Amino acid sequence: MTSASTLTRADLADSLHREIGLSRSESSQLVEQILEYMSDALSHGQNVKISGFGSFVLRDKGERVGRNPKTGVEVPIAPRRVLTFRASQMLRDRIVKAG
């Protein structure tokens, strides 16, 4: 992993290269294909569940009234679709044990 403790696409590809033995280009292509497949599913309104890891869930939020914190003026907030991630219990257990 990089020094900033952020897992990157390059880190994933490098891990595939080391652990499975795929070439660097094959590893990179595989990571890109997986991310593209997940992105396509989400953009078509499908949720993505990765067993033992978690779920990427789309939620539609309705229109609501918000308030400008600086002026206090009420403004309408348009309806929108948001992406949330919910970690699986297995992942949560691993995080708690690691911390």
CA-CA distance, 17 to 19, in Å (whole number)? 6
Tell me, yes or no, whether 35 and 63 share the same domain.
no
User: What is the tally of structural domains in the chain?
Assistant: 2
Cross-strand partners of 77:
64
Per-residue confidence (pLDDT) for residue 4, from 0 to 100: 62
pTM over 0.85: no
Closest CA to 45 of 55, 32, 59, 63: 59
Cβ contacts of residue 82 below 8 Å, gap of 6+?
58, 59, 61
Tell me, yes or no, whether 68 and 89 share the same domain.
yes
User: What is the CATH classification number for the domain harbouring 20?
Assistant: 4.10.520.10
Tell me, yes or no, whether 69 and 98 share the same domain.
yes
CB 58 within 8 Å of CB 81: yes
Does some domain include residue 98?
yes
Tell me, yes or no, whether 65 and 99 share the same domain.
yes
Tell me, yes or no, whether 1 and 42 share the same domain.
yes
The range of the structural domain enclosing residue 29 comes to: 1-46
Does some domain include residue 95?
yes
pLDDT in tens, the chain (99 residues): 545 689 999 999 999 999 999 999 999 999 999 999 999 999 999 999 999 999 999 999 999 999 999 999 999 999 999 999 999 999 999 998 876
Does some domain include residue 51?
no
Per-residue confidence (pLDDT) for residue 5, from 0 to 100: 87
